Structure 1
Amino acid sequence: MFPWLLLALSVFAHPGTGVSPAVPPRHMDSLLDILDALESPARGGSPGTAVALGRGLGVCSTPGCRAVLGEPPGTPERPPVVTPGQWQLLTELLRHDPATPELGAVLAPDGSTVALGPLLAGIEVGLRSGGVGQPLPTLDPPADPLLAVTIAEALGTSFLLARGADNNATALGPDGCWDDVENPQNYTLRGPPSPVPDPVAIGAMDGVILGARLAREPLPVAELLRGYYRTGNGSETWRPPSSYRRRDFGALVGRERLEKEVAAVLGLLRTLLPIPELLRDVGTQEVATVARWAAREFSERYVGLRGHLHPIVPAECPAIVPRCLWGARPYRGTPSPLRPPLGSVFLHHTLEPARPCRTFGACARAMRDMQRFHQDTRGWDDIGYSFVVGSDGYLYEGRGWHWVGAHTKGYNTRGFGVGIVGDFTATLPDPDTLALVRDQLLPCAVRSGHVRPDFTLRGHRQLGHTDCPGNALFQEIQSWPGFQGTPVAPGLG
């Protein structure tokens, strides 16, 4: 357990007993339970109740956010409708610490980790823009309030810090892993931290998308979040809207607009007294340079490129769910390293499970089942595929970019094996899943140096006695860039 959590538990223990209240897991469901209680009309709640409470607990504590939303109210007391355990969780999540922004994050049903600070700040801007609560101030110099409180200030600050640091400094990322996806309590980053780790970037994109929606149509925050993340309905009929956050954020905020707003919020910060330390002796030209750099890097990493000469194109690389998040067992033995760039990508279907997985929970279970089968029944060291593609919008890390797989006998050292969850003998994956592989994964593999630009794409059946990747999918990939080779007659495997 982390030292900060031990401290929090000691502070919030029941007086006189030394026993801590039962703290719910750091999951979106837990937050929604709290919001339901706070927003219940029968209990005197409203859509603005939760937002005001969040502000009092520290959601908006940076200079730029305060300039937009105003000074926070006094520290609130626990509302009677919230249990002591829920109050402890809420207080821990919303207490802002610039050094560890990832601590204020929850695990969402789509498998993403969402920082609540930028999410709730964007929601407050949306509600106030839609007429709920006090009107927003007019900013001078002008800046978009929604972008200022979600991503623009965070990006500007992060890249200002990175510009004067050593070459190993990072201004974005990394991602991380939860200790237990069924009962998430602790989240650990997988590399050197930045002011904008992945949960902050995700929370910011969600805050922009949902804030823009609330500006058009105010509604209860719990209802908004439940529909966006599809919490608790158990449906696998379609992907949750949150899985399209990169596309939807890119449609709302192009790279040029993001650059403009980062420069605008840095200009706003320079008018504050006292001037933030980071901006002292920073001229207008340097602000413009930092804004351009920040917008370019964020767009390429999380959104895709959009300029006046370019249409929207897919994100630099698709979102990858790491092994630790889907619950992988350890690798057995010692993995053999690959020697990139490799010349081939081999496409498979999993056959079992036969149905495409459309939620994080279903895809994570499929990954664990496949790994168990590959290790326990087939006797392999690990799940055989390099990556597995779900129909939930995510790529799942198998052996990954660095280790030899067990996917295409005789060719495992020559290429990456990509499996799509489902049986595609007679039907195709949905168009979005096909596009994830064709338009994002394959270009990403080339740009990142893992695959040669002149790579060949083949179906598994071309290299062995098997029907894989299914007749329908095999016919589809013959029109994809990189496909090569005369189809081999399928066998019986």
Structure 2
Amino acid sequence: MAGGHLCFLLVLLLWPGGSADSLPLLMDSIIQAVAELEQKELEGGPAASVRVLLSAGPPGGLPRFLRDSVSPGASPLDPDPLGAELRALVDRVAQHEVRGRQERGVLLAPDGSTVALRPLLLGLEAGQQGRRAVPLGDGLRPPGDTGGDTLAGSRNDSANVTWVGEQAEPPAAVDSLLAAALATELGLAFLHPRPIPSPPGLGSEGCWDRLSSPQNFTLLDPPTTPLTMAFLNGALDGVLLGEHLSRLPPPRPRLSLLLGQYYGAGVDGDPGFRSNFRRQRGAALISAPNLAQQVWGALILLQSLEPRHPQLHNRSREQLAQAASYASQEFTQAFLGCAASLRAVQRFHQGVRGWDDVGYSFVVGSDGYVYEGRGWHWVGAHTRGYNFRGFGVAFIGDYTASLPTAAALRTVRDGLPRCASRAGLLRPDYKLLGHRQLRRGTDCPGDALFHLLRTWPHFIQTVN
């Protein structure tokens, strides 16, 4: 099935409820803040609301090529146009940072994903200003001179885009949208002292203290890079929404409406244009060769703006190019690629078998990300006779002779049960089984994976 069969485990779960706090760290709370700013009709129009939210960060936090393009003569923003409660919320999440296992600056979105606010806002800001090509040789323009050409086309794969490699020429300009929301931080994460960097492990995941009123987000393991799953979700959302805004003629829609639609039923009524499909849409928008060029260009631009930057000081163009190449491959293959595999499974289950959706409760990709199938509250179609008694968790791949990635194994062994337990979804005495224990005639989940599964906590050998 889609290049390999799916094998799954069974996790028995229950779901009690939680409590509520005022102004929890929910995306809906930020949408409320944006709506309040829009009602004040600040000078500068819809763009002013994003500037107010970004101003909560430290001075100079906004990329210089975006700061310099603000319209000349614009009046200073009201230093406190928000009410006290919303201002306190914005101050908590305006900056993204990771300290140990605590991740700050993230929000719980209605689709269940965790999203970093700052890269989302940077993408919105770049999109509102019009997606621009920032010349590398002329990146420091005076305020009011936007410079460059307006970018058009979703994938931006023009004839002069070449793959980063030996004798490759750096791009002449950088896409302001990709540089602001994603490319710069992605490149910095792959700058290692070694000639060939090992993948830093994109997309660390974590748990909220409670789902009804989330206040704190704790990563499952200390991350090796600030590019957590929440950051990548926010960056991708910023790119998708910024690209959408850049295509719309003025007057553009209110951001509170756009965000409400994107994290709700779909932008302009399109159910395929919402946060649930961020990776699928991102894969259609971002190609690996162009992303490599953009990451390379973003690093060159940042190096010219901040020559003493600790990660860029004395770095050669070749070192920057190599980091950009690895970064683009890891992002497009590990982060975006798993979404395509799951869509193939979904098409098979819906189109061939005629089911309502993916039969499994959850599917785990090689990136370690958990994709929701039937989820917690719908009966699955994974193990005849046991669908009403448990939840099916599938790995993508054939694990007869090999094992899933370490990230995927950690997710199913530790991450998913731990998060479910902390959210009040997992019964402490749940039992863990392999498919072959409940269904005759199958080798699932594969010999290699099943032998490992037998060493995990909560595994039971005998089924009553």
When normalised by structure 2's length, the TM-score is 0.60
CA distance in structure 2 between the aligned counterparts of 1:122 and 1:189, rounded to whole angstroms: 25
* Matching residue of 1:227: 261
The answer to whether the aligner puts 1:36 opposite 2:35 as a matched pair is yes
CA distance in structure 1 between the aligned counterparts of 2:218 and 2:314, rounded to whole angstroms: 35
The answer to whether the aligner puts 1:151 opposite 2:182 as a matched pair is yes
1:248-397 correspondence to structure 2 within 5 Å: 248-304=281-337, 315=340, 367=376, 383-387=390-394
**Offset at 1:410?**
4.3
The answer to whether the aligner puts 1:104 opposite 2:105 as a matched pair is yes
* Matching residue of 2:275: 242
CA distance in structure 2 between the aligned counterparts of 1:141 and 1:174, rounded to whole angstroms: 33
**Offset at 1:223?**
1.1
The answer to whether the aligner puts 1:176 opposite 2:209 as a matched pair is no
CA distance in structure 2 between the aligned counterparts of 1:408 and 1:349, rounded to whole angstroms: 26
CA distance in structure 1 between the aligned counterparts of 2:356 and 2:241, rounded to whole angstroms: 37
CA distance 1:315–1:286, shift in 2 (3 Å):
farther
1:56–1:74 Cα contact (<8 Å) kept: no
**Offset at 1:293?**
0.5
1:19-58 correspondence to structure 2 within 5 Å: 23-40=22-39, 46-58=45-57
Deviation string, structure 1 residues 294-337 (Cα, Å, up to 9, x no partner): 00001111223xxxxxxxx9546679xxxxxxxxxxxxxxxxxx
Which runs of no fewer than 5 residues in structure 2 stay unpaired? 1-20, 133-142, 150-170, 345-351, 363-371, 397-407, 415-431, 451-464
Paired positions, count: 340
CA distance 1:407–1:123, shift in 2 (3 Å):
farther
Aligned to 2:55, the other structure's residue is in SS state helix
1:123-138 correspondence to structure 2 within 5 Å: 123-129=124-130, 136-138=146-148
CA distance in structure 1 between the aligned counterparts of 2:236 and 2:387, rounded to whole angstroms: 43
**Offset at 1:177?**
1.8
1:453-472 correspondence to structure 2 within 5 Å: none
* Matching residue of 1:78: 80
**Offset at 1:97?**
3.6
Which runs of no fewer than 5 residues in structure 1 stay unpaired? 1-21, 305-312, 320-346, 358-362, 390-395, 417-444, 452-493
1:300–1:316 Cα contact (<8 Å) kept: no
One-letter code aligned to 1:115: A
The equivalent position to 1:404 in structure 2, one of 433, 438, 446, is 433
1:24–1:89 Cα contact (<8 Å) kept: yes
CA distance in structure 2 between the aligned counterparts of 1:145 and 1:182, rounded to whole angstroms: 37
Aligned to 2:213, the other structure's residue is in SS state coil
CA distance in structure 1 between the aligned counterparts of 2:436 and 2:23, rounded to whole angstroms: 40
One-letter code aligned to 2:49: A
Deviation string, structure 1 residues 227-285 (Cα, Å, up to 9, x no partner): 1111799x9x9566222211211222200000000100111122124431111222111
Deviation string, structure 1 residues 348-375 (Cα, Å, up to 9, x no partner): 99999x9x99xxxxx799515769xx9x
One-letter code aligned to 2:146: L
One-letter code aligned to 2:175: D
Structure with the higher fraction of residues in helix conformation:
1
* Matching residue of 1:330: none
CA distance 1:221–1:207, shift in 2 (3 Å):
same
CA distance 1:240–1:266, shift in 2 (3 Å):
closer
CA distance in structure 2 between the aligned counterparts of 1:197 and 1:24, rounded to whole angstroms: 24
* Matching residue of 1:459: none
CA distance 1:227–1:166, shift in 2 (3 Å):
closer
2:190–2:197 Cα contact (<8 Å) kept: no
CA distance in structure 1 between the aligned counterparts of 2:280 and 2:260, rounded to whole angstroms: 20
C-alpha RMSD of matched pairs (Å): 4.8
CA distance in structure 1 between the aligned counterparts of 2:306 and 2:207, rounded to whole angstroms: 39
* Matching residue of 2:240: 209
CA distance 1:178–1:32, shift in 2 (3 Å):
same
CA distance 1:134–1:207, shift in 2 (3 Å):
farther
CA distance in structure 2 between the aligned counterparts of 1:163 and 1:215, rounded to whole angstroms: 39
Aligned to 1:414, the other structure's residue is in SS state coil
When normalised by structure 1's length, the TM-score is 0.57
**Offset at 1:35?**
0.9
CA distance 1:266–1:47, shift in 2 (3 Å):
same
**Offset at 1:31?**
0.8
One-letter code aligned to 1:78: D
**Offset at 1:291?**
0.6
Identical residues among aligned pairs (%): 28
CA distance in structure 2 between the aligned counterparts of 1:205 and 1:290, rounded to whole angstroms: 20
CA distance in structure 2 between the aligned counterparts of 1:136 and 1:165, rounded to whole angstroms: 37
CA distance in structure 2 between the aligned counterparts of 1:349 and 1:230, rounded to whole angstroms: 26
